[in-house]
């Protein structure tokens, strides 16, 4: 059997700024709604979760796990049923079926559910772990939250950015070994030092979740890339290496322009991309399979 991909929104963030963050809103005084786009991949070797979004611990005790700065700025719509672990169960799977988690990076809104999957091996770029654990700056301490990592730290497998294969002109790291050849980490540093996209092949088509390498679909326009000004400012606030971030955006833009078929490119926080790929509204849960009642 080949890979099958499920698109999950694992708790939206609702930042200040309205249409300055998401042009779907009519005013700037409303809070926008941005997706937290994760992938659940069915493979021959169990389930692979690409990013976790916010987790159960974040929902139950947000002030002990998330920074006051980002809780105020983003006001995530914390709801237990939207966590990855609850959506996995809703799709008819056991928590133990999730054998691997592959992270684009360790920001609080991407790694909050690590402890919810105690049997999963966690994969990321080595540079991401090194810089996140160093906690060098005030902003690092707000965005990288060791309280979320908990017992999962002993299950982390760290991967080097060099020495892998080439995928569509990008370095490619196969994090899960020869048994799962249809998943790969694609280093895309800039947003964080160890940021990566994750490429998944399903039914002969590639899906590349580019994480936070870009935030808005129109940034991938070939001739007139654009991003809402508030969202662009947020990207600038969060970037670790502007030169690398913009260079990788340009490379992704070229990749997107070169492929009209065979490759689906998406990022973590664009609600329109998520709704198009999942076929449902941002706040809607995935439909439980007919053979299994909702958990």
Q: Running DSSP on this structure, what letter comes out for residue 1? A: -
Is 286 part of any domain?
no
Tens digit of each residue's pLDDT (9 = 90 or more) over 219-230: 999 999 999 999
Query: For residue 266, what are the CA distances in angstroms to 68, 157, 219?
Result: 29, 25, 11
Task: Dump pLDDT digits (tens) for 109-140.
Answer: 999 999 999 999 999 999 999 999 999 999 99
Does some domain include residue 43? Answer: yes
pTM metric for this prediction: 0.95
Distances (CA, A) of 203 to 82, 166, 174, 259: 27, 21, 19, 16
- Would you state the pLDDT for residue 110? 98
For 2, the 3-state DSSP assignment is coil
33 — pLDDT class (breaks 50, 70, 90): very high
Instruction: Establish if 295 belongs to a structural domain.
Output: no
pLDDT at residue 250 is higher than 70:
yes
What pLDDT was estimated at residue 289?
72
CA distances from 80 to 35, 105, 167, 175, 222 (A): 16, 22, 37, 30, 39
The whole-angstrom separation of Cα 131 and Cα 266 is 25
Q: For 272-283, write each residue's pLDDT tens digit.
A: 999 999 999 999
Strand-pairing partners, residue 43, are: 46
Residue 55 has pLDDT above 50, yes or no: yes
Contact 220, 255 (CB under 8 A): no
Label the pairing between strands 196-202 and 183-187.
antiparallel
Tell me if 293 is assigned to some domain: no
Mean residue pLDDT of the chain comes to: 93
Number of domains in the chain: 1
Residue 91 lies in a domain: yes
CATH number where 99 lies:
3.60.15.10
Q: Is residue 287 part of a domain?
A: no
- Residue 294 confidence (pLDDT): 41
Nearest of 205, 238, 164, 197 to residue 51 by alpha carbon: 197
pLDDT at 295: 40
| 170 or 98, greater pLDDT | 98
Q: Which domain holds residue 150?
A: 4-278
pLDDT tier for residue 293 given thresholds of 50, 70 and 90: very low
> Is the pLDDT reported for residue 52 higher than 70?
yes
More reliable by pLDDT, 261 or 107: 107
- Name the band, by pLDDT with cuts 50, 70 and 90, for residue 10: very high
pLDDT at 224: 95
Residue 145 predicted with pLDDT over 90:
yes
Residue 12 confidence (pLDDT) above 80: yes
How remote is the C-alpha of 239 from its chain's centroid? 16
Least Cα distance to 146 among 190, 191, 106 occurs for: 106
Query: Is residue 218, in this structure, part of any structural domain at all?
Result: yes
Q: Is 277 helix (H, G, I), strand (E, B) or coil?
A: helix
Query: Sorting pLDDT into bands at 50, 70 and 90, what band is 179?
Result: low
Residue 17 lies in a domain: yes
Q: What are phi and psi of 237, to 5 degrees?
A: -55, -40
**Res 26 pLDDT > 90:** no
């Amino acid at each position: 059997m080949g890979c099958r991909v499920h698109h999950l929104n694992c708790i939206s963030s609702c930042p200040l700024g309205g249409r300055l963050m998401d042009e779907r809103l009519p005013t700037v005084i409303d809070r926008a709604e941005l997706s937290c786009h994760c992938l659940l991949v069915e493979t021959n070797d169990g389930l692979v979760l690409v990013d976790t979004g916010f987790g159960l611990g974040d929902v139950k005790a947000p002030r002990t796990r998330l920074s006051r700065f980002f809780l105020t700025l983003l006001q995530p719509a914390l709801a237990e049923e939207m966590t990855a672990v609850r959506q996995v169960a809703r799709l008819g799977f056991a928590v133990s079926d999730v054998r691997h988690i592959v992270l684009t990076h360790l920001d609080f809104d991407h790694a909050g559910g690590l402890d919810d999957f105690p049997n999963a091996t966690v994969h990321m770029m080595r540079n991401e772990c090194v810089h996140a654990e160093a906690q060098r700056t005030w902003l690092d301490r707000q965005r990288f939250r060791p309280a979320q990592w908990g017992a999962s730290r002993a299950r982390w497998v760290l991967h080097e950015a060099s020495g892998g294969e080439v995928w569509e002109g990008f370095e490619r790291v196969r994090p899960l070994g020869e048994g799962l050849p249809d998943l790969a980490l694609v280093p895309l540093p800039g947003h964080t030092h160890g940021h990566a996209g994750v490429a998944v092949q399903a039914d002969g088509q590639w899906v590349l979740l580019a994480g936070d390498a870009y935030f808005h679909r129109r940034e991938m326009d070939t001739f007139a890339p654009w991003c809402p000004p508030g969202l662009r400012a947020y990207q600038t606030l969060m970037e670790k290496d502007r030169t690398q971030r913009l260079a990788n955006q340009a490379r992704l833009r070229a990749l997107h322009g070169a492929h009209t078929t065979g490759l689906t490119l998406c990022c973590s926080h664009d609600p329109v991309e998520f709704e198009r790929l999942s076929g449902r509204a941002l706040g809607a849960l995935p439909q439980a399979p007919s053979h299994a009642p909702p958990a």
